[in-house]
Structure 1
Amino acid sequence: MLHEILFSLSGHPSPLLRSAASPGNETDNTLINSTAISPPERALLASLARLSDLHIHLQTAASHIAASHPSVICRAVAFAIDTLHLAGFRRKVVEVERTILKEDAALVGPYRIVPLTAVVAEFEGWGRRLEWLRRVVDVVDKETCTGAGVIDFLRGELLTGYGDVEELAESLVAVAEAAWVKQVAAWVLYGRVPGFGEGDFFVKRRKREDGDGEGNATEEYICEPGLLPGFVTPATAASMLFIGRSLNQIRTKSVEDYSLRGNDHLSTQLTRLAELRHPIDSAAFARTTADIRQFLSRTTLQRLLPLSKVLETLQLLRDFFLLGRGEFAMALTQQADEKIRSRWKRMENLAYEKREGLGNVTIKEGEVAAVLAKTWAAMGSMQGEHADEDEGLEVARELLRLTMAKSKASTPGTHSTEGGLTAIATTPFRNLLFSVPVVMTMQIPSPLDLFLSQADLETYTAINSYLLSLRRANIRLTDLWKITSLRRHHPAPPGPPYGSTRGGREKVHLFRQRHAARTRILRNAWATASAAIFFLGEMEGYLQTEVVAGLSDGFHRWLITGEDEQRHDDGTFKKTQTSTVSRSRYSDEILEDDIWLAGSTPSQPPSLSASEEQTHPHHDPQTLATAHRLYLRTLVHRLLLTQQSFTDELYELLVQIDHLVAVIRRLHSVWTAADLETDAGVVDAFVDLEREERDVQKEIRGVEGRVKQGIEGLVGELRRLEGLGGLQNGTEMGGLGEGVEDGEVLGMGGSGKYVTRRVGGINRLLMKLDFGSWFGREGRGGDGMDVDEEF
């Protein structure tokens, strides 16, 4: 009987022990029957039978998990349960058997009697351990169980009141974390996703469509937060993702660039990971990851992503996405308007013969790309013989794309592993350039994607559509003054000798009456257009000169010198002294005077020699990416792009301004046709010019009122935002804390860290937007408003 008990405890099922432990299963065996085993002995045998069952179940389940589970970490935990803890239980069984065979007095009594209570006492505590191990196996045995889930479960089990269970949990935590660290080591030291257990790793490969409009699919790596253990912070996860992506870049580039080869020295950092103690402390793991990232940046990434390349890219984004080069916005607007007018003219010629041809007025993808190509040609012609010297224009020609948005673009939002960006208002400014969704995008070549992400590019695209729509409306309004016949006598009165005759004087009198009547008709329209130009000009001046230029200069200065501004005790700022190289190469005073004048000159991409780069502070690419996201987030807030109520009203005003420009141009074409009919006898039998003129004049009156209401509503909305105080104080209604406070939140405060400038302030804009009594008075008819008096 004793041998059968020990044999069963060692992992072999025994029907004899099980039947002896069960009171309802007596057998005919004379050794084991209801009279031979007393109830107390039966209870003792039941506890031993429970241990045997648990041992057999754990052994079977652990072997199955170790052989078939898709997670490497789960396999490691199951293997440790079998080879460490169940093996320890089997060693205990052998030790008890050895003690009995040696007739040790600790178990064997007089007459070689072995008390059953003494045998059961030897296994005291193992029941609790095996029950806990069964809980672990039940958790791990699920196919949906992940390595991160097992680690979090085991770390939670450390908080127990039993010392023996805590020791088991610590040993399994060490095994699980060691297996996870080995996977991490393959990624952060060699840039490789583990070949086995890839589905359980937090880094995933994903195919994405490039933004070049050509449908080229590329592979990128993303982080899956659900597969990360709880002790890994989002910032640490972003660092690990960055390190692995960088090593992938290095491995790809090393095929062509021999200077990037020989990165095996990164294996020396393996000791940093091996020195981690289990359970892993979150702060210690973050420091280790940061040290590996800094080591990689000092040894390799400085050659892969030099500062001059970063400055060149940021200058490109500043010039063309943020409209630092004013001629780009002007040329693009003119080419787009020309394309729209040419399409409508062609449709008008087909209208009478083929009415269904009007359905083809929609702009197509190829025409949008052709508009951008003509824009580059127009900008080159502006510079004349020096066009080939503009390197920034050549780089932009290669990387920038103007494409139609095939689907509704996702608003840039918060990414937990990469810092994130604040959600941008969904107002469709991208619809204004061609009346269809068109966006400016850019290819992100390697290795620029180390600090410039797709979410950053989407933010630049949204800002570009917003700023370009404002600039386009201003250009279209000012182009009305180029229509000479609307604001001057046209045609000119006949000169002598015919002008001195009676017929000549009558014609002069007729021309003067016609011009005076048309001037009275358009007087309010000119006043409204002047007010809109004034509003748009002040808005652009505020957004471009104070917000965009201020933040861009601050970020650029930080890249060059490592510092931007210092705070006085009274809360104001002063600029730090930059080096001689940065002062001579980069002049900020030009932008402070006239941002459009600075943008009109051919801007050369900033470049630094190797000796100059050594004198400048070296920024870790991930630190650079984090600072860049902080810069973009502040820029989005300061441009008011997070205020849906403001952007919606602004979009409606821009639509009404387009309508005003269209009806004024339509009225001009009607007057031109009427002059041809009156003066030259050219009659269009299909058009009633007098009726159409009355309809257009009536429509002009309505559009004038809507433009005025739109300007008044926007000024009121700005006053409301100023009253909330969020934008002015840097809190953005609880959205963004700017300045030092925001830098501290992101871990970027202190010496040498990027801190955004405190720029803008709606009160500064509102002081300029003073329309006098224009909003308070009612319209007084055709000649009731004096343009010079009001504006």
Structure 2
Amino acid sequence: MLHEILLSLSGHPSPLLRNDYSDPEASSLISPPERQLLDTAAHLSDLHCKLREQTSRISSTHPSAICRAVSTAIVAVHLASFQRKIIEVEDTILRRDAGLVGAYNIVPLTAVIGQFSGWTRRLEWLWGLIEFMTADEGRQDRLPCQAAKLIDRLRNELQTGYADVSETSRSLLQVAETSWLKQVSAWVVYGRKPTVGGYDFFIREDEEEEPGYRIDYDLLPSFVTPSAAASMLFIGVSINRARSRASTDLGASGLSHLSSQHQELARLSSPFNSVIFSRAITSIRYTLSRTTLQKLLPLARVLEILKVLREFFLVGRGEFAIALTQQADEKVRSRWRRADNLAYEKRSALGTVVVKEGEVSAVLARTWAFLVSMQSQHADDDEALELARDLLRLHVSKSVKAVTPAKGSDHAMNKILDAIAPTPFRNLLFSVPVTLTMPIQYPLDLFLAHSDLQIYTAINSYLLSVRRAHLRLTDLWKITSLRRHHPPPPRAPYGNTKSGISKTRLLRERASLRSSIMRGTWSTSSAAIFFLGETEAYLQVEVVEGLWSHFHGWMTGTRESTRGEPSRPSTSQGALPRINTVDDNARLDSDESPASSQDTQPNHDPQSLSTAHRQYLGALTRRLLLTQPAFTTPLYGLLIQIDHLVALVYRLHSVWVAADLEADEGVVDAFSNLDAEERDVRAQLRGVERRVKFGIEDVISALRTLSLDSSFVAEIEGEEGTLEDEMDGDGVEKYRPHRVGGIDRLLMKLDFGGWFGPPAVDRPGRDDERFS
């Protein structure tokens, strides 16, 4: 009987243990206590058989390499230990050891079964783990067990409170984490995905993503932080690309980092600690940066690209905004003139005035030609301009999909893209969606992503729209005949006659009447210019320049000792003040702080720069209020009304010019009724003036609401961290966005003198006038 029990425990089915003893004759042979002991042995035998069967199937067919490794470890370690225990008990009986064999060679069944008392809970726990690994097999709607879930379960089982279960879980966790670390090693050391069992590896290939790879956060074990996962993605992608270009970029020196990476990973011990693992990955990233990436993407190259983004996408170079706006307006006017020159029967709605892709590219080409001509006049060798000419492109977005920013696998960037208001500022330049873009080529893609460029494009459309409205309003003052007109009397002797005097009186009465008609337009335009000027100064000087100076100082290791009120540089030709460039900032910092010139530049790796850059972009979008539809929507409506106001002023001027030719020179246009057209334009002009004023009031009201919004203020106030206490692995300061701007300061400037007064919300007919 004992031999049968031991064979059954070894995994061989036995009728002795599987008999239910329901027959009265059979039950009389075995007492109830013995039947209970045999049930315990049968339970252990059944668990042993099922474990061997299921582990064999998992080890041969499961798609996860980690699950196969754990299943193999269960057989090779724990079931083998159980088998050795059976042999040990059998050897003890055969040797007639007094621990089991009593007097007269009697072996108590209780003592034999008691030898396996510690294995019941362990085998039951192992069977529960096997059921967990096979729970989703055969289901179409769910994938089989994945490594991350298995590792998390094993880590949780360490805290059960049972020593034997904790020891078993620890041994299996070591196998699982070691197998998982081998997959990670293939990625962070050689830049290759695991060729075997990569079913549940957290790095996924995706051709639609920016680097060609993405992170599946559902496949990450709980001890891996998002920052460590992002570092591993960056390391693998960088090595992958560096190896593909090793013959031209790296040579043999590109492989010098392998030994140090192996050492960092070899020092990790299971169970992995989240902090220690993150430090090891960070150390590998720094080593890779110092040995390989520093040659591919030096800091000077990053600063060069950021300078282009600052000056052209963030409208830091005012002459670019002026030239692009003027060339775009000229292209649109030429299309309208071409439509007017067509015969009436040949006109086809607005099809003749729609701007096409080639014309948009031609506008940018003429803009570059204008800037180059200015550069040649000043004999200034501008490398940023030459680089921008090679990189920047102006495109027409022909579909909603092209207009909507594409999202990647970076959760932080997706959050920023989701927060940007969908207000279509890109429609204002050409009346069609137009975006300023730039191709991202290797090795810049190690630092700059397409999602970053989409944020720059959105900010560029926003800032350029405000700048364009400001320029168009100030251009109205160039129409001298509207702004001031003092008709001189006719020459003598005709000027001394009655007809000459009457004509002089007629011309001056006409000028006086038109001046009175335009008085409201000039006052409204002046108020709008004041509003746009102060708003633009806040956005450009306070926010963009403040954040850029601090970010540039962090990258180059030059920090401002004190931050005073930024001065507004003088402008030429009505251009927006050209904000300090990289070289200007470095010179100013060195002048303000002599000690700063002696500091060495921090050795930022590309991922640290990329992470800091995205934090900078996130702070920039929030500080520019681009994430607040309550502000951008009324601002967009105001810009549209300003365009309407400018168009009506030009139209009224053309009507008056035609009327003067008809009255003074006898040039008559038989197809036009100038008096009726003038009345119509003047009526529309009065309505647009009111809507512009109401639009400004709405924008100011939105600013007041934001200034009182506690959630918005808390979000802005929480951007800046403690720089002195937050260091990375090499003791370099982590970037935290600088606290700049402040809506209250802008509101104080806009409210100065009460030039508009409180918004008249309940004014009769206000909504009808605003949106008519």
Same fold (TM over 0.5): yes
Question: What is the match of residue 311 of structure 1?
Answer: 303
CA drift at 1:382? 2.4
- Worse-superposed segment, 541-550 or 150-159: 541-550
| One-letter amino acid matched to 1:127 | T
TM-fit CA distance, 1:705: 0.8
For the structure 1 residues 268 and 757, does the alpha-carbon distance in structure 2 shift closer, same or farther, using more than 3 Å as the test?
Answer: closer
Residue in structure 1 matched with residue 719 of structure 2 by the alignment: 738
Residue in structure 1 matched with residue 10 of structure 2 by the alignment: 10
Q: C-alpha distance in 1, partners of 2:116/2:157?
A: 23
Report deviation, 1:126.
1.2
Counterpart of 1:401 in structure 2 is 393
Aligned residue in 2 for 1:285 = 277
Does structure 1 retain, via aligned residues, the 8 Å contact 2:69–2:179? Answer: yes
1:550 aligned residue (546, 549, 561): 546
Q: Answer whether contact 1:351 1:358 (CA < 8 A) is retained.
A: no
Q: CA deviation at 1:175?
A: 0.9
SS at structure 1 position matched to 2:756: coil
Aligned counterparts, 1:79-90, within 5 A? 79-90=72-83
Residues 413 and 364 of structure 1: CA distance in aligned 2, closer, same or farther (over 3 Å) = same
Q: Alpha carbons of 1:487 and 1:63: their partners in 2 closer, same or farther (altered >3 Å)?
A: same
Counterpart of 2:482 in structure 1 is: 486
Q: CA deviation at 1:208?
A: 2.7
SS at match of 1:255: helix
Report the TM-score, using the length of structure 2 for normalisation: 0.87
**Corresponding residue for residue 181 of structure 1:** 181
SS of aligned partner of 2:212: strand
Q: CA offsets per residue over residues 497-544 of structure 1, 9 Å max, x none? A: 655555544443332222222111111001101111111111112221
Is the CA contact (8 Å cut-off) linking 2:17 and 2:42 kept in structure 1?
Answer: yes
CA gap of 1:504–1:197, structure 2 versus 1, over 3 A, is: farther
8 Å Cα contact 1:590/1:598 also seen in 2: no
How far apart, in 1, do the equivalents of 2:103 and 2:184 lie? 60
Read off the aligned partner of 1:775 and give its amino acid letter. Answer: F
1:470 counterpart letter in structure 2: V
Cα separation, partners in 2 of 1:527 and 1:591, compared to 1, 3 Å: closer
1:126-205 pair list within 5 angstroms:
126-141=119-134, 142=136, 143-205=143-205
Distance of 2:133 and 2:90 partners within structure 1: 33
Could you tell me which of 702, 711, 724 is aligned with 1:717? 702
Corresponding residue number in structure 1 for 2:642: 657
Which stretch shifts more, 53-62 or 311-320?
A: 53-62
- 2:591 corresponds in structure 1 to none
Shift of 1:554: 2.1
Could you tell me how far 1:749 is from its partner in structure 2? 13
Cα 1:10–1:414 change in 2 (3 A) is: closer
- Output the aligned Cα RMSD: 3.4
Cα displacement string for residues 677-734 of structure 1 (whole angstroms, at most 9, x for unaligned residues): 33344444443322221111111111111111222232333344445588xxxx7333
- Change in CA separation of 1:748 and 1:195 when aligned onto 2, cut-off 3 Å: closer
Residue 287 of structure 2 is matched in structure 1 by 295
1:328-378 deviation per Cα after TM superposition (whole angstroms, max 9, x unaligned): 111111121122222222333446123435345333333322322222222
> 1:392–1:605: 8 Å Cα contact kept in structure 2?
no
Structure 1 CA distance for aligned equivalents of residues 7 and 657 of structure 2: 111
Aligned length: 738
In the superposition, relative to structure 1, how do residues 637 and 524 fare at CA in structure 2: closer, same or farther (>3 Å)? same
Amino acid at match of 1:709: F
Superposed CA deviations along residues 429-448 of structure 1, whole A, max 9, x for unmatched, are 22211222222222222222
Paired with 2:515 and 2:406, the residues of 1 have a C-alpha distance of 46
The whole-number CA distance in structure 2 between the counterparts of 1:85 and 1:248 is 40
**Which residue of the partner structure matches residue 657 of structure 2?**
672
Q: CA deviation at 1:754?
A: 3.5
Out of 631, 635, 638, the position equivalent to 1:646 is 631
Residue 386 of structure 1 deviates from its aligned partner by: 6.7
- The aligned counterpart of 2:21 is 23
SS across alignment from 1:565: coil
Find the aligned partners of 2:731 and 2:702 in 1 and give their Cα distance: 36
Q: Is the 8 A contact 2:726 2:733 kept in 1?
A: no
Q: Is structure 2 residue 94 aligned with structure 1 residue 101?
A: yes
Moved more, 505-514 or 693-702: 505-514
Does the CA-based 8 Å contact 1:413-1:420 persist in structure 2? Answer: no
428-437 or 354-363, larger mean C-alpha shift: 354-363
Structure 1 position 481, deviation (Å): 1.7
For the structure 1 residues 300 and 525, does the alpha-carbon distance in structure 2 shift closer, same or farther, using more than 3 Å as the test? same
Any residues of structure 2 matched to 1:215-614 within 5 Å, and which? 219-259=211-251, 261-350=253-342, 352-384=344-376, 389-405=381-397, 406=399, 407=401, 408-410=403-405, 415-416=410-411, 421=416, 423-489=419-485, 494-496=490-492, 499=495, 502-560=498-556, 562-566=557-561, 573=562, 599=578
* C-alpha distance in 1 between matches for 2:488 and 2:17: 119
CA drift at 1:156: 0.7
Compute the displacement of 1:135 (Å).
1.0
Task: From the superposition, tell whether residues 465 and 260 of structure 1 become closer, same or farther in structure 2 (CA, over 3 Å).
Answer: farther
Is the CA contact 1:129–1:165 (under 8 Å) kept in the aligned structure 2?
A: yes
Q: Deviations over 1:416-464 (max 9, x none)?
A: 4779648223322222112222222222222222222333222222211
Q: Distance in 1 between matches of 2:214 and 2:628?
A: 30
SS at match of 1:257: helix
Change (3 A) 1:692 1:526: same
Match of 1:402, SS?
strand
Partner in structure 2 of residue 212 of structure 1: none
CA contact (8 A) 1:674 1:689 kept: yes
Q: Distance in 1 between matches of 2:386 and 2:230?
A: 33
SS class of match (2:145): coil
Question: What is the rounded CA distance, in whole Å, between the counterparts of 1:778 and 1:132 in structure 2?
Answer: 71
Counterpart of 1:583? none
| Structure-2 separation of matches of 1:548 and 1:417 | 21
Question: Shift of residue 106 of structure 1?
Answer: 2.8
Tell me how far apart the structure 2 counterparts of residues 778 and 546 of structure 1 sit (CA, whole Å): 26
Moved more, 677-686 or 279-288: 677-686
Q: Is the 8 A contact 1:470 1:540 kept in 2?
A: yes
Partner of 2:109: 116
Aligned to 1:765: 746
Cα contact 2:655–2:677 (8 A) shared by 1: yes
Aligned partners of 1:203 and 1:223 also within 8 Å: yes
Residue matched to 1:57: 50
More displaced stretch, 541-550 vs 480-489: 480-489
Change (3 A) 1:756 1:475: same
The 10-residue stretch of structure 1 (625-634 or 82-91) with the greater mean CA deviation from structure 2: 625-634
Matched residue type, 1:8: S
Q: Residue type of the partner of 2:458? A: A
Indicate the larger mover: 84-93 or 453-462. Answer: 453-462
Secondary structure of the corresponding residue to residue 356 of structure 1: coil
The DSSP-based 3-state class of the residue aligned with 1:222 is: strand
Whichever residue aligns with residue 46 of structure 2, its letter is: D
* Residues 655 and 674 in structure 2, CA contact (< 8 A), matched pair in contact too: yes
Partner SS, residue 433 of structure 1: coil
Query: Cα deviations across residues 9-67 of structure 1 (Å, max 9, x unaligned)?
Result: 212233x13442x13479xxxxx944433333222222212111111111111121121
Offset of 1:574 from its aligned partner? 5.2
The secondary structure found in structure 2 opposite 1:353 is helix
Distance 1:288 1:654, change over 3 A: same
